[in-house]
Amino acid sequence: MSDILTVVERSALMSRIRGSGNKDTELKLMAVFRLHGVTGWRRKAPVFGKPDFVFPKLKLAVFVDGCFWHGCPIHATQPKQNAEFWRTKIARNLARDRLVTRTLLARGWHVLRIWEHELTRKYERRLLARLRRAGLLV
């Protein structure tokens, strides 16, 4: 199997994972919102950087960042196959994340980035504390 084919195949596989992964994490966060009575959020709002959730009244943009795709310092894995390809891709994602956050802050938005792993029971208290600090919980 040639390297090119492997990259294409893996890319297709990963885009499927990304598609479902993103949706899963968004649904998990939505469940947390519902469980704790958080209201006022919108999805797919036409805001720079396409936040996963927007709270217009608070001018708050919320992103749920997948640990693999956004280079989580705890869980980011480094695929051995096509290592350079993935390093570059994830570095680009990180650069884009930083640009989006900077731009939104410059436009007067608050930005909350939540790691995929924060949606697990282990990090539940920490997540709720962050939501509280962001003004989403009383």
Cα–Cα distance measured from residue 76 to residue 95, given in angstroms and rounded to the nearest whole number? 16
Options 4, 74, 106, 138; binder of Zn ion; rule CB under 5 A: 74
Which tokens is 13 given?
Answer: 């596989």
Calculate the alpha carbon distances from 81 to 6, 34, 89 in Å.
Answer: 9, 40, 13
Q: 98-127 mask for Zn ion (x: CB under 5 A)? A: -----------------x-x----------
Options 72, 94, 128, 134; binder of Zn ion; rule CB under 5 A: 72
Options 16, 75, 107, 122; binder of Zn ion; rule CB under 5 A: 75
Task: Determine how many CB atoms are found less than 10 A away from the CB of residue 89.
Answer: 15
Nearest residue (CB) to Zn ion, 35 versus 74: 74
Q: How far is the CB of 123 from Zn ion (least distance, A)?
A: 9
Q: Which residues pair with 64 in a beta bridge?
A: 114
Decide: 112 and 63 in contact? Cβ < 8 Å. yes
H or E stretch at 104 = helix 83-106
Per CB under 5 A, the segment of 4-12, 44-52, 60-68, 87-95 that binds Zn ion is: 60-68
Options 29, 38, 54, 67; binder of Zn ion; rule CB under 5 A: 67
Residue ranges binding Zn ion (CB under 5 A): 67, 72, 74-75, 115, 117
